[in-house]
Amino acid sequence: MRRPLVAGNWKMNGTRKSVVELIDGIKGGLGHHPAVEVLVCPPALFIDSVASQLKGSEIRLGAQNVCQSTAPGAFTGELSASMLQEFDCCYVIVGHSERRHIYGESDKLIAERLAAAVAGEVTPVLCIGELLETRENGTTEQAIAQQLDAVLKLENGVELLRQSVLAYEPVWAIGTGKTASPEQAQEVHAFIRAYLAKYDETLANGVRILYGGSVNATNAADLFSMPDIDGGLIGGASLKVNDFVAICKAAG
Ligand code: 13P
């Protein structure tokens, strides 16, 4: 049984005040929620204060990126997995499409970041997904396979993915209000599982695959009802207490 996970990716949003209100609201709105794992990924500056606010809560804390180096040193602007660990982050997003497309992070770098997260005992949430032009020219599956291959071709690729969560985020659905239909999303999730099964059946059946891209309180339940969708990675709607709480409840 794969336990559903709903993760809020706050991206570059929030103030000291709004972050406190958001966490208070989510804690109050969710209460005890054993059926679904809930994760928030604030901007790095807020991680410490959110960690304090989440003490004693079931809500998990994550970061939005991690350095590919496990050793400390000359990596200006980066955070290591051991730093994230020390500040109570048990998850970290890697390979978000904004990192890939705005900051030019390559498949290779992203695979290295993922490996560093696992080495530091922080669970990576590996984002994969196709651009609109890729979908339109019918090469979505090749694009997804290429993103997975970057990790699978590492020596211990299967083991690394076994300790990861995947998030399918079609780039054309991110922040656009244009969600993939449950059927469109399911088709890609099923492809991902089938692709992984060629390497390792247990990995394919066990790995959680989240859907992300314009998930909201209205469309969440239909997406989460699909057999290969194990929860969501939520952007805009994760900044609104009522919407995020409703999405979490739709998964559990
Ligand atoms: P939106 O939910 O705002 O479309 O963002 C999705 C996303 O990128 C989550 O990582």
Which domains, and CATH codes, for the chain? Answer: 5-251 (3.20.20.70)
pLDDT at 124: 98
Give the atom of ligand 1 at the shortest distance from the alpha carbon of 93: 10
- Protein residue whose Cα sits closest to atom 7 of ligand 1: 235
Give the atom of ligand 1 at the shortest distance from the alpha carbon of 176: 4
Q: pTM of whole model > 0.85?
A: yes
> Which of 96, 112, 130, 189 is flagged as catalytic?
96
Is the predicted pLDDT of residue 1 greater than 90, yes or no? no
Closest C-alpha among 53, 56, 8, 52 to residue 32: 56
Is the predicted pLDDT of residue 177 greater than 90, yes or no? no
pLDDT range class, residue 178, cuts 50, 70, 90 = confident
Please tell me the distance between residue 169's alpha carbon and the centre of ligand 1 in angstroms: 8
Closest C-alpha among 208, 215, 109, 122 to residue 167: 208
Please tell me the distance between residue 43's alpha carbon and the centre of ligand 1 in angstroms: 14
The stretch 21-42 carries a mean pLDDT of 97
Number of helices (H) and strands (E) in the chain: give both, helices first.
12, 8
pLDDT at 144: 98
